[in-house]
Structure 1
Amino acid sequence: MDEDAGTPQPAAPGRAAGPRQAWAGLPWPVRTAVTWGACLVVVVAALWLLGKIAVLLAPLAVALAGTLFLTALLDPVLLRLRRLRVPPALAALLSVLLLLGVLVGVGALVWNLTASQFGELSQQLDQGLERSRDFVTSSLPVTDEQLDRQIEQIRNGLSGSAPDPVAGARTAAEVAGSLLLGLVLLFFLLKDGRSMWHWVLRRMTGPRRDVTAEAGRAGWRTLGAYSRGTMIIAAIDAIGIGLALVLLRVPLALPLALITFLGGFVPIIGATVAGAIAVLVALAANGPTTALLTLAAVIAVQQIEGNLLEPLVMKRQVQLHPAVILVVVTAGTLVAGIAGAFVSVPIAAVTWRVLDTVQRHRAALPD
Structure 2
Amino acid sequence: MTATAGAAGTLGTAGALGTAGTAGAMAPGAGTVAPQAGTGTRQAWAGLPWLVRSVVLWSACLVVVVAGLYLVGKVAVLLAPLAIALAVTFFLTALLDPVLLLLRRLRLPAALAALLTVLLLLGVLGGVGVLVWNLTASQFGELSQELDQGLQRSRDFVTSTLPVTDSQLDKLIQQTRDGLGGSAPDPVGGARTVTEILGSVLLSLVLLFFLLKDGRPMWHWVLRRMTGPNRDVTAEAGQVGWRTLGAYSRGTMLIAAIDAIGIGLALVLLRVPLALPLALITFLGGFVPIIGATVAGAVAVLVALAAKGPAVALLALAAVIVVQQVEGNLLEPLVMKRQVRLHPAVILVAVTAGTLIAGVAGAFVSVPITAVTYRVIDTVQRHRQDAVGRPSTTD
Q: State the TM-score, normalizing by the size of structure 1.
A: 0.94
2:12 alignment partner in structure 1: none
Query: Alpha carbons of 1:234 and 1:24: their partners in 2 closer, same or farther (altered >3 Å)?
Result: same
Query: Alpha carbons of 1:22 and 1:212: their partners in 2 closer, same or farther (altered >3 Å)?
Result: closer
SS in 2 for 1:104: helix
1:342 alignment partner in structure 2: 364
RMSD of Structure 2 on Structure 1 (CA): 2.2
Give 5+ residue unaligned stretches, structure 2: 1-16
SS in 1 for 2:21: coil
1:10 aligns with 2:30: yes
Residues 247 and 337 in structure 2, CA contact (< 8 A), matched pair in contact too? no
> Matched residues in 2 for 1:271 and 1:235: separation?
12
Residues 99 and 117 in structure 2, CA contact (< 8 A), matched pair in contact too? yes
1:80 alignment partner in structure 2: 102
Once the two structures are TM-superposed, the CA of residue 48 in structure 1 deviates from its matched residue by 2.3
Among 191, 196, 200, the alignment partner of 2:213 is 191
Among 180, 201, 222, the alignment partner of 1:200 is 222
SS in 2 for 1:85: coil
Once the two structures are TM-superposed, the CA of residue 362 in structure 1 deviates from its matched residue by 2.1
1:290 aligns with 2:308: no
Among 373, 380, 384, the alignment partner of 1:362 is 384
1:279 alignment partner in structure 2: 301
Residues 264 and 271 in structure 1, CA contact (< 8 A), matched pair in contact too? yes
Letter in 2 for 1:10: A
1:113 alignment partner in structure 2: 135
Once the two structures are TM-superposed, the CA of residue 5 in structure 1 deviates from its matched residue by 2.6
Residues 244 and 294 in structure 1, CA contact (< 8 A), matched pair in contact too? yes
1:162-177 matches, within 5 Å, as 162-177=184-199
Show CA shifts across 1:184-237 (max 9, x none). 000000000010111111111221111111111111111111111111111111
SS in 1 for 2:22: coil
Residues 242 and 254 in structure 1, CA contact (< 8 A), matched pair in contact too? yes
Show CA shifts across 1:128-148 (max 9, x none). 000000000101111111111
SS in 1 for 2:23: coil
Give 5+ residue unaligned stretches, structure 1: none
Residues 87 and 365 in structure 2, CA contact (< 8 A), matched pair in contact too? yes
1:59 aligns with 2:81: yes
For this pair of structures, how many residues does the alignment match? 366
1:1-367 matches, within 5 Å, as 1=17, 2-7=20-25, 8-10=28-30, 28=48, 40-365=62-387, 366=390
The farther-off stretch of 165-174 and 299-308 is: 165-174
SS in 2 for 1:204: coil
> Matched residues in 1 for 2:87 and 2:320: separation?
30
Q: State the TM-score, normalizing by the size of structure 2.
A: 0.87
Once the two structures are TM-superposed, the CA of residue 154 in structure 1 deviates from its matched residue by 1.1
Letter in 1 for 2:230: R
SS in 1 for 2:288: coil
Q: Between Structure 1 and Structure 2, which shows a larger proportion of helix residues?
A: 2
